[in-house]
Structure 1
Amino acid sequence: MTAPKRPQILVTGAAGTLAQKVIAQLRETCDLVAVDFREQVWLGDDIPSYCIDFNKRVFEDLFRRFHFDGVIHLGRIMSSQENRLRRYNANVLGTQKLLDLSHKYNVRRVIILSTFHVYGAVPFNPALIDEEAPLKAAGLTMDLVDSVELENLANIYLWRYPHLNITVLRPCNIVGPGVRNTISTLLSGERAPVLAGFSPMMQFIHIDDMADALVATWRHKQKGIYNVAPDDWVAYQRALELCGCRQVPIPSIPPLLPRTLLRVLSLKRFPPYLMDFYKYPVIIDGRAFKRDFGFYPQRSLDDIFHYYRENKHPV
């Protein structure tokens, strides 16, 4: 009796810790191909790995060769990385190329990792932001335009090509071992800036739970747009305290002053365009994802903060 064909999946962003955790969970049941435009990573003899720019013609050769059943797109450049033009080319034009090739070569499942930053941080955000809320980030800063446009693009393909079965995930702050985003860098440091008079509530999801969420998304085949977040949250200054960080108060007005002080204090890992996220809460509602995918985070805030408290310079 012939064994059933294993799904062939393309995983982008393979140099990232999150992608490697997803690959580790799926390699026993799926045939995987790893791609990253930054570097080629070795993931074992059983997983072909490539360093390819999505906008180059050679990228299409992978679709011809491997006949992918699914794509898990984790190759988004974060807002704290690279310049605006490079982020736009990779996040928007690169994703458009990926979706066009997925349509052309009859891919049956596409998962795209987005971010809660697309909602924007404003004083009048509701207590819980659901998936129907407007994406305000592009109107607040040019540095998040590519994140919003990536989502708009995915939404167009979601409805235009239903056979792609696209699912877009908007997670809260992803943290934990190996994560190098802005909030993880702050939690892992000996000192961290706080804006005087502000300590917004924040949500955190452990990178292992986020990998579990992506694997659950692959297995359940439910398309749509989903927030991914736990049911609990904590004030930013309290999170720093629990992580053993010394707080560095920064005046919040006039707007130019905190940027100048951050530069003088060499706190470069605090991008000015994310500053409002450290003033106003952006608490997202993850109940729809839990309902449709049966997902519940297994790592608590205590687990997260204990790691940063004991590892001030995570690898």
Structure 2
Amino acid sequence: MPTTVTSRGRPVTAAQGNGPTPSANGRKSSRSRKVGRAVAVTGAAGAIGTVLLRALADAPEVGKVLAYDVRRGASEGVLWRVGDVRDPVLAQRLAGMDSVIHLAVDWSLDAAPSARSALNVRGTQTVVTAAAAAGVKRVVIVTSASVYGALPDNAVPLAEDAPLLAVPEGIVADLLEMERVAEDARRVHPGLEVVVVRPAALVGPGVDTLVTRHFSAPRLLSIKDTSPAWQFCHVEDLASALVVAAVADVPPVLTAGSDGYLDQRRIEEISGMKRVEVPAALALATAERLHRVGVTPAPASELAYAMHPLVVSSAGLRALGWRPTHTNEANLEAVLAEVRGATAIAGRRIGKRDAAVAGASAAGATVAVLGAAAFVRAARRARGR
């Protein structure tokens, strides 16, 4: 049945009027549904998964939702199964599912790289293999727009088929490997549709990324002679995009982000934060040194995301009628509200317990440079006395 989406990204069909009857609280009960797609979500108890489960519950094309994670989440109206996505028993759990949305990814800023990669890469491989064995029709893998890389000559916006030119370091290395797994799966499992969704920098409740920590710093970093372009994606907009990716006729790669972008001047206007301006060579060298000694969790290559444009078009989703409901301005306000009262020095948050991590494209190395610049200024003042 042909599927379109409303301006808020909600799938609808000509048969929508025959959908389930709302429950007493106005929500559709998944138990009462007789028709619709069966969708499984791995990592369902996380920050993105929680929002996604609500979006799936409201989607008229979805009849059953299986939530899979190492712990049971708070969402009701779905079928919960507890387990590790790297366990081969996953194939049995996915039996009868039409689509799987894979969110069981470790985005932690402070996790051991080997342990993080073991989950991210091997977990993705297992999900794809299990889905193929279970006869699932489609797997949706979430990576990040950061895999394109932030380069001075990037088109604004980038096309979804633009080459992946990011430096394979840190969490971005995991994301590039997950992209490779998706590409290999299309060849090895021709009966399985593999869709990759690449959101812009994620924001929203519970989101703690290198981007949000960038705005926890005492000052905003400005690199001389560069032209950054900031684009965000709210978790609610990502959730509606993932619903479309799970149920509609979509291309193999989708990007999702708010309309347009914010330049450095607009970022400063909205945030009200003062900036520290440093030469690129100094910023990169300082960030590299601080990462090498373990002061910052991000490699110096992450600094590129605060220097050069990285804006995606969301063309594939837009062709299906999807539209983001959050502007970049509103998203930045959400980040500022989320980090209010917290301070991040060298990419490490101080004064606030870390929340669930959900997002990747980042400029966390900038925070390290800010810390270094502060030390330099203090030393100069001391010598001038």
Counterpart-to-counterpart distance in 2, 1:15 and 1:175: 17
Evaluate the alpha carbon distance shift between residue 91 and residue 310 of structure 1 in structure 2; reply closer, same or farther with a 3 A threshold.
Answer: closer
Counterpart-to-counterpart distance in 2, 1:176 and 1:125: 26
Counterpart-to-counterpart distance in 1, 2:161 and 2:243: 24
* 1:272-303 deviations in Å (ceiling 9; x for gaps): 34111111212223223211x21111222232
Corresponding residue to 1:92 among 121, 124, 140? 121
Counterpart-to-counterpart distance in 2, 1:144 and 1:251: 25
Evaluate the alpha carbon distance shift between residue 141 and residue 239 of structure 1 in structure 2; reply closer, same or farther with a 3 A threshold.
Answer: same
* 1:175-211 deviations in Å (ceiling 9; x for gaps): 1222212212333x26244143145012112221111
Residue 312 of structure 2 corresponds to which residue in structure 1? Answer: 284
Unmatched segments (≥5 aa) in structure 1:
none
8 A contact 2:202–2:235 mirrored in 1: yes
* 1:110-151 deviations in Å (ceiling 9; x for gaps): 21111111112233333332122221224x536522211211
Corresponding residue to 2:63 among 30, 34, 45? 30
Evaluate the alpha carbon distance shift between residue 307 and residue 285 of structure 1 in structure 2; reply closer, same or farther with a 3 A threshold.
Answer: closer
1:10 and 2:43 aligned: no
Residue 186 of structure 1 corresponds to which residue in structure 2? Answer: 214
Residue 107 of structure 1 corresponds to which residue in structure 2? Answer: 136
Counterpart-to-counterpart distance in 1, 2:177 and 2:298: 23
User: Which amino acid is 2:333 matched to?
Assistant: H
Counterpart-to-counterpart distance in 2, 1:159 and 1:240: 46
Identity %: 25
User: Which amino acid is 1:13 matched to?
Assistant: G
Corresponding residue to 2:253 among 214, 225, 242? 225
The residue correspondences of 1:121-160 to structure 2 (distance < 5 A) are 121-138=150-167, 141=169, 143-160=171-188
1:68 and 2:94 aligned: no
User: Which amino acid is 1:137 matched to?
Assistant: A
Residue 325 of structure 2 corresponds to which residue in structure 1? Answer: 298
8 A contact 2:259–2:328 mirrored in 1: no
**TM-score, normalization by structure 2:** 0.69
Corresponding residue to 2:79 among 27, 33, 47? 47
8 A contact 2:33–2:63 mirrored in 1: no
How much has 1:219 moved relative to structure 2? Answer: 2.7
Residue 9 of structure 2 corresponds to which residue in structure 1? Answer: none
Residue 111 of structure 2 corresponds to which residue in structure 1? Answer: 82
Evaluate the alpha carbon distance shift between residue 258 and residue 207 of structure 1 in structure 2; reply closer, same or farther with a 3 A threshold.
Answer: same
8 A contact 1:42–1:49 mirrored in 2: no
**TM-score, normalization by structure 1:** 0.83
> Greater relative contact order: 1 or 2 (C-alpha under 8 angstroms, separation 6 or more)?
2
Count, aligned residues: 306
Unmatched segments (≥5 aa) in structure 2:
1-31, 343-354, 356-385
8 A contact 1:203–1:232 mirrored in 2: yes
8 A contact 1:250–1:258 mirrored in 2: no
User: Which amino acid is 2:322 matched to?
Assistant: F
* 1:224-260 deviations in Å (ceiling 9; x for gaps): 1122223311114532441344434455324332355
Q: Secondary structure at the match of 2:280?
A: coil
Counterpart-to-counterpart distance in 1, 2:257 and 2:92: 36
Evaluate the alpha carbon distance shift between residue 110 and residue 241 of structure 1 in structure 2; reply closer, same or farther with a 3 A threshold.
Answer: same
Evaluate the alpha carbon distance shift between residue 21 and residue 171 of structure 1 in structure 2; reply closer, same or farther with a 3 A threshold.
Answer: same
8 A contact 1:250–1:261 mirrored in 2: no
Q: Secondary structure at the match of 1:44?
A: coil
8 A contact 2:220–2:276 mirrored in 1: yes
Q: Secondary structure at the match of 1:75?
A: coil
8 A contact 1:200–1:279 mirrored in 2: yes
Residue 238 of structure 1 corresponds to which residue in structure 2? Answer: 266
How much has 1:72 moved relative to structure 2? Answer: 0.7
Counterpart-to-counterpart distance in 2, 1:59 and 1:250: 50
How much has 1:88 moved relative to structure 2? Answer: 2.2
How much has 1:216 moved relative to structure 2? Answer: 2.0
How much has 1:93 moved relative to structure 2? Answer: 1.4
Evaluate the alpha carbon distance shift between residue 307 and residue 124 of structure 1 in structure 2; reply closer, same or farther with a 3 A threshold.
Answer: closer
Worse-superposed segment, 82-91 or 105-114: 82-91
Residue 198 of structure 2 corresponds to which residue in structure 1? Answer: 170
